[in-house]
């Protein structure tokens, strides 16, 4: 490798983390986002001699490549919803129904964003919240791009037009429609009532203690009255503290009251991996990510998907002490 090639690599590498966050917002899958970033860097490497710094910044040029990769991917992939954005609310007493042939929104491990320290300042964690990521799935690909580039990443209208390969008029039109739709979904209100990261983790730690003791009433005391639980790949979802309690009673009855929990973080939100007792050890059951407001836990997004588990590097099982992966 020549010195010139090494210099080019060193110039583009600091953008990797923020491009990962961008591709995730566009696609809704951590695995696909990583693949698209790899594709972006491969395309950039092949086109490195075509880059003209007098026409655009290196960051803008990379975002255009990443955007083209995302738009191409979105042409063949449907939107990635959460159950609450796809079907009507369920009764917590109804049997669980798996959503067939649905590609669900996936959480993004915070550890992936911590990998590139110089770029961390460019990643707005609040704009990665699951509620916002789910709202983006209700937008067209062009509307997603316009909203993320303008409102999240603060590109100018002309820069966003260059990245999207369109006009400023088109960008502004897509942006207005996107803002209207996101407001209709109530995402901004949820973010305004969000406590600090330390306070959020404290709420979830109290929830974890109640969960480990199968204390349903203790769990309910930590919830807002209109709390939502959803469980992709299951279509079932429901709202309300009472319904939540009914469902958790069934969970502990069906899966036992002996659990081990491991704290995780995703999309800038606290959560945990839940392992239930099976035989002489503990088997990975679910990954749960929480939305916490000043009034309490307002949403629990529960994932039971091998691809999601792999993204978090979770062991399939723990030993009898709940410490060693097996």
The angle subtended at Cα 303 by Cα 242 and Cα 208, nearest 5°, is 60
**Residue 151 reports pLDDT greater than 90:** yes
Q: Give pTM, 2 decimals.
A: 0.92
Cα-Cα-Cα-Cα torsion 102, 67, 107, 20, nearest 10 degrees, comes to: 150
Categorize the per-residue pLDDT at 189 as very low, low, confident or very high, splitting at 50, 70 and 90: very low
Neighbours of 75 (CB within 10 A): 8
Q: Which pLDDT does position 186 carry in this prediction?
A: 78
- Which of 191, 226, 248 finishes a domain? 191
**CA of residue 207 relative to chain centroid, distance:** 21
Categorize the per-residue pLDDT at 33 as very low, low, confident or very high, splitting at 50, 70 and 90: very high
Distance (Å, rounded) from C-alpha 225 to C-alpha 240?
A: 5
Nearest to 149 by CA among 118, 125, 183, 172: 172
Residues 207 and 295 occupy one common structural domain: yes
Residues 16 and 164 occupy one common structural domain: yes
Residues 270 and 176 occupy one common structural domain: no
Residue 242 falls within a domain, yes or no?
Answer: yes
Q: Which pLDDT does position 114 carry in this prediction?
A: 75
> CATH no. for residue 56?
1.20.140.160
- What is the mean pLDDT of the segment spanning 67-84? 93
Q: Which pLDDT does position 298 carry in this prediction?
A: 96
**Residue 326 reports pLDDT greater than 90:** no
Distance (Å, rounded) from C-alpha 21 to C-alpha 303?
A: 20
Residues 150 and 283 occupy one common structural domain: no
Residues 253 and 151 occupy one common structural domain: no
Residues 39 and 137 occupy one common structural domain: yes
Residue 120 falls within a domain, yes or no?
Answer: yes
Instruction: State the average pLDDT for the chain.
Output: 92
104-134 confidence digits (pLDDT tens)? 999 999 999 875 454 444 577 778 999 999 9
> CATH no. for residue 309?
3.10.450.50
**Residue 59 reports pLDDT greater than 90:** yes
Residues 46 and 32 occupy one common structural domain: yes
Cβ atoms 108, 30 nearer than 8 A: yes
Residue 93 falls within a domain, yes or no?
Answer: no
Residue 94 falls within a domain, yes or no?
Answer: no
Nearest to 317 by CA among 275, 273, 280, 256: 275
Residue 325 falls within a domain, yes or no?
Answer: no
Task: Tokens for 106, please give them.
Answer: 């996936």
Q: Which pLDDT does position 49 carry in this prediction?
A: 87
Residue 96 falls within a domain, yes or no?
Answer: no
Cβ atoms 271, 287 nearer than 8 A: yes
Residues 235 and 286 occupy one common structural domain: yes
Strands 317-318 and 269-278: unpaired
Nearest to 238 by CA among 88, 90, 82, 81: 90
214-245 confidence digits (pLDDT tens)? 999 999 999 999 999 999 999 999 999 999 99
Residue 59 falls within a domain, yes or no?
Answer: yes
Residues 15 and 149 occupy one common structural domain: yes
Task: Tokens for 77, please give them.
Answer: 């992939």
Picking from 4-8, 55-59, 222-226, which range would have the lowest pLDDT averaged per residue? 4-8
Residues 153 and 28 occupy one common structural domain: yes
- Which of 169, 191, 213 finishes a domain? 191
- Which of 191, 212, 243 finishes a domain? 191
Domain range for 11 is 3-76+105-191
Residue 97 falls within a domain, yes or no?
Answer: no
Share of the chain above pLDDT 90, in %: 81
- What is the mean pLDDT of the segment spanning 248-271? 96
Total domains, the chain: 2
Residues 129 and 206 occupy one common structural domain: no
Distance (Å, rounded) from C-alpha 66 to C-alpha 79?
A: 18
Categorize the per-residue pLDDT at 4 as very low, low, confident or very high, splitting at 50, 70 and 90: low
Q: Which pLDDT does position 156 carry in this prediction?
A: 96
Task: Tokens for 108, please give them.
Answer: 């993004």
Categorize the per-residue pLDDT at 78 as very low, low, confident or very high, splitting at 50, 70 and 90: confident
Cβ atoms 135, 182 nearer than 8 A: yes
Nearest to 324 by CA among 272, 264, 280, 270: 280
Q: Which pLDDT does position 193 carry in this prediction?
A: 59
**Residue 324 reports pLDDT greater than 70:** no
**Residue 304 reports pLDDT greater than 60:** yes
Residues 228 and 311 occupy one common structural domain: yes
Nearest to 127 by CA among 191, 44, 183, 60: 191
Owner of token pair 């006009």: 167
């Amino acid at each position: 490798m020549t010195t010139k090639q090494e210099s080019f690599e060193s110039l583009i590498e600091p953008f990797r983390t923020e491009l990962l966050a961008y591709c995730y917002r566009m696609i809704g899958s951590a695995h696909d986002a990583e693949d698209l970033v790899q594709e972006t860097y491969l395309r950039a490497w092949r086109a490195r001699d075509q880059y003209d710094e007098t026409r655009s910044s290196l960051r803008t040029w990379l975002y255009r490549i990443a955007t083209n990769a995302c738009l191409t991917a979105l042409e063949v992939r449907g939107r990635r919803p959460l159950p609450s954005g796809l079907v009507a609310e369920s009764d917590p007493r109804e049997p669980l129904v798996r959503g067939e042939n649905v590609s669900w929104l996936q959480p993004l491990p915070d550890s992936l964003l911590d990998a590139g320290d110089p770029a961390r300042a460019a990643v707005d964690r609040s704009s990665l919240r699951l509620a916002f990521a789910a709202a983006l799935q209700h937008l067209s690909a062009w509307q997603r791009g316009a909203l993320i580039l303008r409102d999240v990443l603060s590109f100018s209208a002309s820069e966003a037009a260059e990245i999207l390969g369109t006009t400023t008029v088109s960008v502004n039109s897509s942006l207005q429609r996107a803002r209207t739709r996101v407001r209709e979904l109530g995402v901004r209100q949820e973010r305004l009532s969000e406590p600090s990261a330390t306070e959020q983790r404290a709420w979830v730690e109290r929830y974890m203690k109640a969960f480990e003791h199968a204390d349903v009433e203790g769990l309910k005391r930590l919830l807002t009255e209109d709390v939502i639980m959803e469980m992709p790949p299951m279509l079932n979802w429901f709202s309300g503290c009472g319904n939540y309690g009914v469902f958790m009673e069934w969970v502990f009855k069906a899966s036992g009251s002996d659990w081990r929990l491991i704290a995780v973080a995703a999309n800038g939100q606290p959560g945990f991996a839940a392992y239930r007792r099976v035989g002489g050890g503990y088997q990975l059951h679910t990954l749960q990510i929480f939305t916490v407001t000043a009034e309490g836990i307002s949403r629990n997004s529960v994932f039971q998907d091998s691809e999601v588990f792999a993204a978090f590097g979770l062991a399939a099982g723990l030993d009898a002490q709940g410490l060693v992966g097996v």
